[in-house]
Structure 1
Amino acid sequence: MRFPGLGEVLFFATAEGARDILTAPSAQCRAPLPNPIEPVVGPNSLILLSGEAHRRARSVLTPPFRGELMRHYVDLIAEAACDQIATLGPGDRLLVGEAAQNITLDVVIRVVFGVTDRARRSEYSRVTTQLLRSGSAMLMLVPWLRRDVAGRGPWARLVAFRAQLDRLLSEQIDERRGSGEHGSDVLGLILDATDDEGNVLGDDVLRDQLRTMLAAGHETSSTSLAWALHHIHRDDGIRVRVIDELASAATPADIATLPYLGAVIQETLRVHPTVPIVLRRLTAPLTVAGVACSAGDVVGIALPALHFNPDIWTDPTAFNPERFLGPKPSPFQYAPFGGGYRRCIGATFAHSELAVSIGTIMKTLDLRSHEQGKPPRAVPRGIATKPSREIALEVIARR
């Protein structure tokens, strides 16, 4: 396929091809540029860096997302979910996409940025939503549209919203550094961290990384949350089994480790990988699944094709969480978070966020789907693929 700015991309959809791409050493490939999300995340984003710059940034940014730190975050995730559904009662409708967007955005603002004041969280939410909505597909994919016409037009709006968010981020960073108490949220841990040469992240780089976590983490998690709730309530057997398992979970930390709920999330990510392609630009020749590729070529994994490959998955079109309760698939058969040295640093966090959000909602509300006809399709919007229409669930009762 041909992509604007990248040229021809050779895609693979087999475990052999995925293995060859994901295990290629960093010296043989780099992030393909230009990347359409650069206007939002900035040139210093971990997503766009390669080589030594990528390694150093990753060494600073990875520790706050390690599994052992999840216990510091799960209570805040549950609180964000509770706040979103606090006013719903019998007969009301839960608009799943809208609720998922609000929950995951609030989680980023609380857990990553460490913003506790409600009014300030609202300001962050407003500016972030405006920034992400201003990044239309055409503006992202067609660079020549990025023109400021006397301070007007789509590009001028995006730049203005990005500047507003940067001012909020700069205020938060300055307050933390001025207080001398960085805190245990992601921002605080990053401010305390140094790379292996003892360097901290500069303010420009730090803002780009925070915007990356905001755009990448919020958009993808909200989509996965919406799809998971859709599938749970589309199949009464799955819904009942999740509810029965949740009865054994007394705390958000317990919810995060439930095996069947975890399998539902994994199956959701198999059927609906939110970022459906993994790309590398080769800097040296590489043979991928027997195909000789040259330096300069862009190779990729088509995740939907890999995740629905009948040579790998039994009955791949069926939504079947139980396939993840047995032996784990290899990282070359199942790669919703990418893989290799560029695997998403927030994968563990995302799983906990989804589990706790789903569990909190379902322990609080008895929900039913009255959907008839074909389910929504996955369509590209922003940096992720999302349901083509809103998913509505009826509130039967509060538990």
Structure 2
Amino acid sequence: MKKNIFTLAATVAFVLASNAQKVDFEEYDLTNGMHVILHQDNTAPIVTTSVMYHVGAKDEEPNRTGMAHFFEHLLFEGTKNIKKGDWFKIVSSNGGTNNANTTDDRTYYYEVFPSNNLELGLWMESERLMHPVIKQEGVDTQNEVVKEEKRLRVDNQPYSRFLENVKKHMFKKHPYKGTTIGKMKHLDAATLDEFLAFNKKFYIPNNATLVVAGDINIQETKKLIKAYFGPIPKGKNIIRNFPKEDPIEKEFKAKAYDPNIQIPAIVAAYRTPSMKTRDARVLDMISSYLSSGKSSVLYKKLVDKKKMAFQAGAFNLSQEDYGTYILYALPLGANTLDDLIKEIDVEIDKIQNELISEKSFQKLQNKFENDFVNSNSNIEGIANSLARFNVLYGNTNLINTEIDIYRSITRKEIQTVAQKYLNKKQRLVMEYLPESKK
């Protein structure tokens, strides 16, 4: 009976993936270098207008961290034609929603409107690019907003410094050693001229990808884009030459402290290749095998059966230049951090020395098929994927073909990649410990 249920699940996943419609799109460049991607879907009267700028925390000066994330906030302050405080009022009063987010590699802004407000969305994003108002008053306002965000999300949240401490040990040269939110003392010290210079350098059409997706007419949309974005002057080409990291050739250890926790954690971290590589996708599959859901290897072993841990897992943090593969666990009862890392290593050794079972492999394939279908299930998600694949991977059509990479991964390849990157001699082992309030 279990076998029949499993076969049914595999069949359903295959049918879902087979029926997932190809995402048709058209892309081209404006004369000022802005890349444009259009996706027409007239099934619902909504449209997403979005712009992804190829600027993130890694592009900041070492003594001015947090600038990219700060701009995510600052560029909602207003423009030459949008008064301070009016941005969100305009969006909501026209039936729309909007947001923005920043990573180490890019910054993304978007609006979702009823399709009869397409022109409004284009105008607002062109205003953000062409006529931003960057004054000391706005900088001071957003400085307090960012500080409050840091207090809420970092300073007062348990385990919120976990990744920060991993990164600072894994990266000694590359700017991935910092955090996206940055250091407040750097933002406090930044002058208005520095904010203006950052905007002038990175917020330029030739460092941006505009995506319009949804209920649109392609030709009419092109005319509007040309009218609103065509006149924006091209900026200077951005040259990136980040330092390369030296290989990790022996295991090293570290400790980090968090005043907001009572239960410690053990972490094993490995430096891995760029998100653009095939190996990065294989590592995605390995992390899912180890810790995706309650039936995954680490949860089932450490949490469910042996009851050695409150929580255990793995994730592959893939980024544009490098990745970081992280394994972690929080001990339960009298079990120690050393006990947990030994048990985790047993499971890594198994992957390196044995092929995972056919059943586990099929389960992985089903999960990635399902994720693929879900990622393209709405206009907002499609717009994000189109922008991301273009800006970070240089291949917009991965929205349709990346799943083929996952489908082609074999059990032997999972074993080989685990051997290559999850090597005990090439890792950080970090104890993440409670810090005394005293």
When the two structures are superposed, what TM-score results if normalisation uses the length of structure 2? Answer: 0.24
Higher helix fraction (1 or 2): 1
Higher relative contact order, structure no. (Cα contacts within 8 Å, ≥ 6 residues apart): 1
Greater C-alpha Rg: 2
Higher strand share: 2
